[in-house]
Amino acid sequence: MTPTNSVPAPGGQTAKTTLAALQQWVNDSASLCKADSVHWCDGSEEENQRLTEMMLETGDLSELNQNKYPNCYLHLSDPSDVARVEHLTFVCCENEDDAGPNNHWMAPTDAHQKIDALFDGAMQGRTMYIIPYCMGPIDSPYSRLGVEITDSPYVVINMRLMTRMGSQALARIEQEKTFVKGLHSTSDLDPNKRFIMHFPEELSIKSIGSGYGGNALLGKKCHALRIASWQARQEGWLAEHMLIVGLESPEGDTHYVACAFPSACGKTNLAMLIPPASQPGWKIWTLGDDIAWLHLDDEGVLRAINPEAGYFGVVPGTNAKTNKNAFDMITSDTIFTNVALTADNQPWWENKAEGEPVTDWQGREYDPANGKAAHPNSRFTVAARKNASYSSLADAPDGVPISAIVFGGRRKELAPLVYEAKSWRHGVLVGAGVASETTAAATGSVGVVRRDPMAMKPFCGYNFADYWNHWLSLDNGTNKLPKIFHVNWFRQDKEGNFLWPGFGENLRVLRWIIDRCDSNVAAVETPIGLLPNSKDIDITDLDLLDGAIDALTSIDVAQWQAEMASVAEYLESYGDRLPKALQEELETVVKALRAA
């Protein structure tokens, strides 16, 4: 029986959904892209098996050593397609000012015309997969739905790990009748015909010419950050580039913290940190490693859910010391992208601390003259539930209450190990002023300092000035909002030695943050915020360089004057839309620095 209210599917197939708007969009996309056939994904294990076998046959995947790495596979991207492409990423809203200087903009009609011409016939000879997905726990009021149409089976098997995908999601879509539409084709992977376009007013995304991560797994950065941030502003919540972690003290109290760091700055490592021997009794619970959706509840408490269900993590550097949870988790049921291989077909990457590469990420015989064996932005995809520190509240429909928001970046100089903002309003300025050295997660040069407000530079789907205003508007006058902090794990001395060991030892800094939230410890007031007394950071058993802890817990006034001048210049580039309150906060800091 044909479902009521349905639109017939093309090619004499029966309709696959009771939601006419969805069936119509699938039909229209199939005719535009001239797909050979249409497959509606149910998310089952059997479907996953079939796709995996098919990809092994076509060479899209290869099998890794199944004794050592059961159910693990390797995918090698086209060498020109290994990272997000910010210069080809557009926000296409009616009014250019709504996209802001932080986004590339194109008028929606022009954008559709340009990209639809590229989609025309792009799926000839290919199957078009329909992926219904839910971002967030399937029964959470905070979750949002989407459907990605793609011609990439690699995208399907990744989306199955990264989201709640398949029949249950489709049932909720049919009930709610709203969802984000994402159309994706790898087409011919020509970088000159590659675009990632967002239409926030239409709740839709069109992405062509790339099969890689953030460009192709549309639930992630495109939906859960760019489109969701736009919706969140209209609806009074926040969609942020943040990990969510629970810190349980030896006494059994758990505080939840949300941290915003740019891509490839250690969010995954922090989210699944293992307490070092020097911190007995502490436990860490992972809720998310990349994205947080934050809502104020009826009591004025900020609650977080992780919209994702898996990790798409940077592989190089992962070992039993840096991130044992991840290292263990990725020995089974994992998709590796762009890593190297050992002689016995195990995946290999720089700083794996075992084995040797024989084949590099391009499938060539490994030769150091060609550069790294694994691509610096090579990734693992794995289900979050496999993590030994997976929080029992990661699926809670109401999420978890957030005690602290922590901003950070990679700064060789300037930024102390940790400081606390004086107020929510000052915290918004601290977030807006975040800067970081660029990494391999996006194409372009690596190691250049750039402003990356709230670690959202590549991901905020609207004008940053309006975004800061929105952040300021959450100040609800209660004292229940999280405290805001800034951390920097990456300080170096003049010789380039790191001043702080990082990784598991970062717990020592998080403990100070929690103590501040609980009013258990005093702090030193400085022009830029509240710094720890150096004695209040536990450094027992750490082999720090002479003077390191003092350098890490103090500020250089002259350097900070220059920094605030640069922040001012940056903020002023947002013109009239820049919130007055932010300017006032900035002036307060500048004055205090002058008086210092």
Compare residues 263 and 436 and give the one whose CB is closer to Mn ion. Answer: 263
CB of 214 to ligand SAT, least distance (A): 2
- Rounded Cα distance between 409 and 457, Å, is 12
In degrees and rounded to multiples of 5, residue 335 shows phi and psi of -100, 125
**95-154 binders of ligand SAT (CB under 6 A):** none
Cβ neighbours of residue 513 closer than 8 Å, sequence gap 6 or more: 257, 404, 406, 418, 420, 483, 485
Piece in contact with ligand SAT (CB under 6 A), picked from 34-42, 57-65, 213-221, 323-331 = 213-221
Using CB under 6 A as the binding criterion, the count of chain residues that bind ligand SAT stands at 8
Residue 465's binding partner among Mn ion, ligand SAT, none (Cβ under 5 to 8 angstroms by kind) is: none
Q: Which two tokens stand for residue 108?
A: 């929606």
263: contact with ligand SAT by CB under 6 A: yes
223: contact with ligand SAT by CB under 6 A: no
- Rounded Cα distance between 316 and 350, Å, is 5
265: annotated active-site residue = yes
CB of 225 to ligand SAT, least distance (A): 9
Compare residues 221 and 426 and give the one whose CB is closer to Mn ion. Answer: 221
Residue 457's binding partner among ligand SAT, Mn ion, none (Cβ under 5 to 8 angstroms by kind) is: none
CB of 443 to ligand SAT, least distance (A): 11
The residue annotated as part of the active site, out of 72, 92, 134, 265, is 265
Query: Per-residue x/- mask for Mn ion, residues 258 to 297, rule CB under 5 A?
Result: -----x--------------------------x-------
Dihedral angle over CA of 313, 315, 317, 323, nearest 10: 50
Among 38, 228, 441, 455, which residue sits at the site for ligand SAT (rule: CB under 6 A)? 441
By the 8 A CB rule, do 72 and 347 touch?
A: yes
**465-524 binders of ligand SAT (CB under 6 A):** none
Residue 214's binding partner among Mn ion, ligand SAT, none (Cβ under 5 to 8 angstroms by kind) is: ligand SAT
Residue 82's binding partner among Mn ion, ligand SAT, none (Cβ under 5 to 8 angstroms by kind) is: none
Q: Which residue's structure tokens are 């736009």? A: 230
Query: Per-residue x/- mask for ligand SAT, residues 77 to 96, rule CB under 6 A?
Result: -------x------------
By the 8 A CB rule, do 144 and 307 touch?
A: yes
Compare residues 222 and 430 and give the one whose CB is closer to ligand SAT. Answer: 222
Q: Determine the longest span between alpha carbons in the chain, in angstroms.
A: 78
In degrees and rounded to multiples of 5, residue 433 shows phi and psi of -90, 5
Compare residues 25 and 154 and give the one whose CB is closer to ligand SAT. Answer: 154
By the 8 A CB rule, do 90 and 111 touch?
A: yes
- DSSP for residue 84: B
Partner residues linked to 231 by β-bridges: none
Rg of the chain over Cα atoms, rounded to whole angstroms, equals 24
Compare residues 40 and 311 and give the one whose CB is closer to ligand SAT. Answer: 311
Among 221, 223, 491, 511, which residue sits at the site for ligand SAT (rule: CB under 6 A)? 221
Nearest to 432 by CA among 578, 299, 308, 213: 578
Residue 213's binding partner among ligand SAT, Mn ion, none (Cβ under 5 to 8 angstroms by kind) is: ligand SAT
Compare residues 428 and 456 and give the one whose CB is closer to Mn ion. Answer: 456
Among 112, 220, 303, 511, which residue sits at the site for ligand SAT (rule: CB under 6 A)? 220
Compare residues 50 and 87 and give the one whose CB is closer to ligand SAT. Answer: 87
By the 8 A CB rule, do 335 and 326 touch?
A: no
Residue 84's binding partner among ligand SAT, Mn ion, none (Cβ under 5 to 8 angstroms by kind) is: ligand SAT
312: contact with ligand SAT by CB under 6 A: yes
Piece in contact with ligand SAT (CB under 6 A), picked from 212-220, 405-413, 476-484, 501-509 = 212-220
Residue 40's binding partner among Mn ion, ligand SAT, none (Cβ under 5 to 8 angstroms by kind) is: none
- Rounded Cα distance between 482 and 302, Å, is 7
CB of 584 to ligand SAT, least distance (A): 33
Compare residues 311 and 500 and give the one whose CB is closer to Mn ion. Answer: 311
Residue 527's binding partner among ligand SAT, Mn ion, none (Cβ under 5 to 8 angstroms by kind) is: none
Cβ neighbours of residue 140 closer than 8 Å, sequence gap 6 or more: 305, 396, 397, 398, 399
- Rounded Cα distance between 186 and 173, Å, is 26
By the 8 A CB rule, do 502 and 489 touch?
A: yes
CB of 6 to ligand SAT, least distance (A): 35
- DSSP for residue 307: -
Sign of CA dihedral 100, 105, 107, 111: negative
Task: Give the DSSP per-residue string, 388-446.
Answer: TTB-TTTT-TT-EE-SEEEEE---SSSS-SEEE-SSHHHHHHHHHT-EEE--TTBSS-S
Partner residues linked to 163 by β-bridges: none
Residue 425's binding partner among ligand SAT, Mn ion, none (Cβ under 5 to 8 angstroms by kind) is: none
Residue of minimal Cβ distance to ligand SAT: 214
Q: Which residue's structure tokens are 């798409």? A: 312
Residue 563's binding partner among Mn ion, ligand SAT, none (Cβ under 5 to 8 angstroms by kind) is: none
DSSP tally for the chain: helices H, then strands E: 16, 30
Query: Per-residue x/- mask for ligand SAT, residues 519 to 558, rule CB under 6 A?
Result: ----------------------------------------
Task: Give the DSSP per-residue string, 19-46.
Answer: -HHHHHHHHHHHHHHT-SEEEE----HH
Chain contacts with Mn ion (rule: CB under 5 A): 263, 290
* Residues designated catalytic: 265
Chain contacts with ligand SAT (rule: CB under 6 A): 84, 213-214, 220-221, 263, 312, 441
